[in-house]
Amino acid sequence: MKASIKGAIQARAANPDWWRGAVIYQVYPRSYQDSTGDGVGDLAGITQRLDHIASLGVDGVWISPFFKSPMKDFGYDVSDYRDVDPMFGSLADFDALVARAHELGLKVLIDLVLSHTSDQHPWFVESRAHRQNPKADWYVWAEAKPDGTPPNNWLSIFGGSAWQWDGGRMQYYLHNFLTSQPDLNFHCPEVQDELLGVAEFWLERGVDGFRLDTINFYVHDKQLRDNPPLDPALRNDHIAPAVNPYNWQDHIYSKNQPENLEFLERLRAVMKPYGAAAVGEVGDAQRGLEILGEYTRGEDRMQMCYAFELLSKNLPTAAYIAETMHKMEEVAAEGWACWAFSNHDVPRHMSRWHLSDAAARAYVVLMMCLRGSACLYQGEELGLPEADVAFEDLQDPYGIQFWPEFKGRDGCRTPMVWDGGVHGGFSHGNAARPWLPVAPEHLPKSVAEQEGDPDSMLEHYRRAVALRKAHEVLARGAQQIEAEGDLLVIRRTLEGREVLALFHLGEGEVVRDIDEGWSALDEARALGAVAPGEGRVTLGPWGFALMGR
């Protein structure tokens, strides 16, 4: 192990709770920076732009998949867990990225996709060859019903049955996502051992942790029981678009199995000697917070998870946020959330919630005041709206399947805009056309246009992150939260220090009385916060106040 990696491990060991309250910046590699001119972002491009990420004041960077893959789902269909896809570079490029990130004080979390592989992975090629081979049970195979139909009623998130017929084995295989993404069989001990070895491989290369894709999908019901129908009143589109019948089932057997906890505990044991941390994606529309609490409870499971409560399409009102946090206290009091408003799977929240500039500024400050860690998605710091991608330019199979009612995920994955030039600085002027078109409406919001402008969204994000970094109570303190109409009242406490944050999430004006002894935080004015008056605070539309004592 290199001395630099040993040093990073020692630094994490000295501060094992570095992840608690951390702010993590997500990079989607295909769309961050193209260093070769082929129209696709790469690892060397990310390394070139790490200074920008560090300038935001964040604690770490989460890098979406860059492993070898046929790219049917853009890297979430892995064909080799231990190598870099040539379109993104090489293992040497990855090592250089980690080294530079650590020089800048940034942790590196990589996206591990453990629930399924590509159908081109050598494991699956061997598994499907016939029923008697060393990897025959590495994937979820099942007999057809007597009438030839699939083994049960499970549905794929990407539409249709979760079962695909294979004429070679004369059996169905399970795929919770694309038919080209067969699910691994976690009931097979060799599968778990191999995946734990994958995690250790990347830990040995110096990564600081993982983002775990679809963490609650790893284990399926061994009896393959049918999922029951879901009460229509409980349907929502947090996980799948409303046009997808996936929302009509209660997925109590196809995911969320109790045996999953045993694997998570094994994974945590592998991570512990490295001081590494993980954030899991909980894909469940009805029990997301409960699962979050279960998966992050204690010292032997994952450190953080995120559910989709703040990634939903509905604008989070004061009442909704308070209700969500109260539910957290009820079902996940010992757990730890990682909140996000945007990521690579949902429309950008500027457009999804139809936010004004003032509202967007209030929401990012609000995120920095919530108990939990936080994830920011690339371009969010620029205030980018969702890009409008024409049907003929779509790349996402999910969008192509359900277009036009659901346009897929390409609108949030268009290239990052660094300047107002050709391709927005994503790649040089005479480079190949980017894999997705640069959104013209993004160019005036580029990094170059906003850099150094004290009134820009970019500088506001930097100040919001600095607010959390300046007050440990915001990163780690206890939380009391209540809604009073459109007013959200957050009180954070830690070791005798208190912060009171008031957010008016609506139009009009609200006046609230406050106790004596509160004074504006030093950072409040630069963020545009309202200063408290004598015994009261008056907030206009999307106004907020930040006070301490």
Catalytic residues: 213, 281
> Which tokens belong to 166?
């294979």
What's the length of the chain? 549
> Which tokens belong to 460?
């506001």
CA distance 9 to 14: 9
Torsion of CA 177, 182, 183, 187, to 10 degrees: 160
DSSP classification of residue 427: S
Listed in order, strand segments (DSSP E) in 495-540 are 497-504, 510-513, 519-520, 536-539
Is-contact 400 410, C-beta < 8 A? no
Q: In what order do the strands lie in the sheet with 171-174?
A: 141-142, 171-174, 163-166
> Which amino acid is it at 197?
G
- Is the C-alpha dihedral spanning 251, 256, 259, 263 positive or negative? positive
> Which tokens belong to 70?
């046929």
Q: Alpha helices of 276-344 — where are they, by DSSP H? A: 288-295, 318-331
119: left (phi over 0), alpha (psi -120 to 50) or beta: alpha
Instruction: For residue 127, give every residue at least 6 positions away whose Cβ sits within 8 Å of its Cβ, in sequence order, or none.
Output: 133, 135, 136, 137, 138, 139, 141
> Which tokens belong to 221?
């019901």
CA distance 87 to 406: 29
> Which tokens belong to 503?
């957010």
- Is the C-alpha dihedral spanning 390, 394, 396, 401 positive or negative? positive
What are φ and ψ of residue 148, in 5° steps? 90, -5
User: Which of 291, 142, 135, 116 is closest to 223 using CA atoms?
Assistant: 142
Query: Does an H or E element contain 268, and which?
Result: helix 260-271
> Which tokens belong to 445?
């919001």
Is-contact 137 188, C-beta < 8 A? yes
Helices and strands: H and E segment counts in the chain: 15, 20
